[in-house]
Amino acid sequence: MIKIQNLNKYYGNTQILKNVDMEISKGEIFGIIGHSGAGKSTLLRCINGLEDYRDGSLTVEGQEVKDLNEKQIRELRKNLGMIFQHFSLLERKTVFENVALPLECFKYSKAEIEKRVMNLLELVGLADKRDAKPRNLSGGQKQRVAIARALALEPKVLLCDEATSALDPNTTKSILALLQDINEKMNITIIVVTHQMEVVKQICTKVAVMEGGRVLEIEDTEDLFLNNTEGLKALMGDEQIVLPEGTNIKIIFPKEIANENIITNMARTLDFDFNISYGKLEKFREDVLGSLIITVKDHYANAVKRYLDERNIKWEEIKNDK
Ligand SMILES: Nc1ncnc2c1ncn2[C@@H]1O[C@H](COP(=O)(O)OP(=O)(O)OP(=O)(O)O)[C@@H](O)[C@H]1O
């Protein structure tokens, strides 16, 4: 649906996006995560034609964005709804009028506007606030209005630029649940730009990690957490510490067995002592994912590796800290 190949973008002489490659399929909730300044918002603005790019290719449904004329850009933006961190609502207009705005721009009839806006307000749970002004709404409610407005023209893609960054954790959860609901019910592709790991964890099917204008990696979200990839380390820091002596074995828990007592069972079966050097368990949706580094005396190492291999449990050996 959206295909980006070798995209380069400059502001003056400064290169902001560097050889970006990315493919976003229809129906996906695709996360783009990275620290501030990584180039995430710039990439979103290239996708909706607000920024041009020097070289490389960026197609939306097969159309090269930089080659579109004004009319085609208008059509493109109709297909790409967008929401922002600070909601961008018009303060003097009511909730109803804010959502109606894009429909008025595209000259929909009054009856059609009434019907669509009310359906959208039902969808986001704000039908009873139709006559309220934004200043009388909470942050979460404002973002719901912005979502309704972004969906007014029935876009195929919803672009979310730090849409939950100004919200508290519970409100964030409810907005993300709403986005997931919209993705499922309306089969809208959603691109979520964020610096918050929790956002990716809660709703993204796939995620691109960006740093310094580059894509470090693109992974299924579960794999990102499970494998403690280079991208995840770049985002979270790699704080794992291991002992200076013995063999350190990092055991990676897939979700099917994360709740089982692998370590205790192994220690009982093999009858050996071990130290836990480092552990990290993450709640991932309904499951627990994570890894644990145990340190065993060198002569036990092979038995441990065999035990894990026989049970198809992933492991890797970690060098000692000197
Ligand atoms: N209009 C502009 N002119 C010059 N430089 C810009 C412009 N817009 C962004 N930049 C620079 O481009 C880089 C990427 O910015 P961008 O906003 O895309 O990053 P980001 O990952 O979205 O970060 P943030 O979450 O802080 O917005 C930054 O170094 C920023 O200073």
User: What is the full per-residue pLDDT of the chain (322 aa) written as tens digits?
Assistant: 999 999 999 998 999 999 999 999 999 999 999 988 899 999 999 999 999 998 899 999 999 999 999 999 999 999 999 999 999 999 999 999 999 999 999 999 999 999 999 999 999 999 999 999 999 999 999 999 999 999 999 999 999 999 999 899 999 999 999 999 999 999 999 999 999 888 998 999 999 999 999 999 999 998 887 776 777 777 766 666 667 788 988 888 766 665 567 777 888 888 888 888 777 777 777 776 777 888 888 888 999 999 999 988 888 888 776 5
**Residues in CB range of 17: below 8 A, 6 or more apart:** 7, 8, 9, 39, 42, 43, 46, 53, 213
Q: Give me ligand 1 centre to Cα 160, in Å.
A: 16
Q: Per the domain annotation, does 275 fall within a domain?
A: yes
Q: Does residue 194 line the site of ligand 1, with CB under 6 A?
A: no
Q: How many angstroms is it from 56 CA to the middle of ligand 1?
A: 19
Last residue of a domain, one of 176, 200, 234: 234
Domain boundary among 183, 201, 234: 234
Report yes or no on 241 lying in a domain: no
Question: Are 77 and 129 contained in the same domain?
Answer: yes
List the CATH number of the domain containing 301.
3.30.70.260
The interface pTM score, or ipTM, of the predicted complex is: 0.92
Q: For residues 5 and 19, what is the distance between their CA atoms, to the nearest angstrom?
A: 7
CATH number of the domain enclosing 144: 3.40.50.300
CB-based contact 265:279 (threshold 8 Å): no
Residue to substitute in 40, 162, 165, 216 for testing ligand 1 pocket (most ligand atoms within 8 angstroms of CB): 40
Instruction: State whether 227 and 286 are in the same domain.
Output: no
Structurally, the chain folds into a number of domains equal to 2
User: Based on the domain organization, do 151 and 257 belong to the same domain?
Assistant: no
Closest Cα to atom 4 of ligand 1: 11
Closest-lying ligand 1 atom to the alpha carbon of residue 161: 22
Structure confidence at residue 242 (pLDDT): 67
The parent domain of residue 101 ranges over: 2-234
In a domain, 240, yes or no: no
271 close to ligand 1 (CB < 6 Angstrom): no
> How far apart are the CA of 23 and the centre of ligand 1, in A?
22
Describe the strand order of the beta sheet including 275-284 as a list of residue ranges.
275-284, 287-296, 247-253, 314-318
Q: Does the beta carbon of 67 lie inside 6 Å of ligand 1?
A: no
| Cβ atoms < 10 Å from Cβ of 88 | 13
Q: Is the CB of 41 under 6 A from ligand 1?
A: yes
In this structure, the answer to whether residues 208 and 70 fall within a common structural domain is yes
* Same domain as 223, residue 283: no
- Let me know if residue 294 belongs to a domain: yes
pTM of the model: 0.81
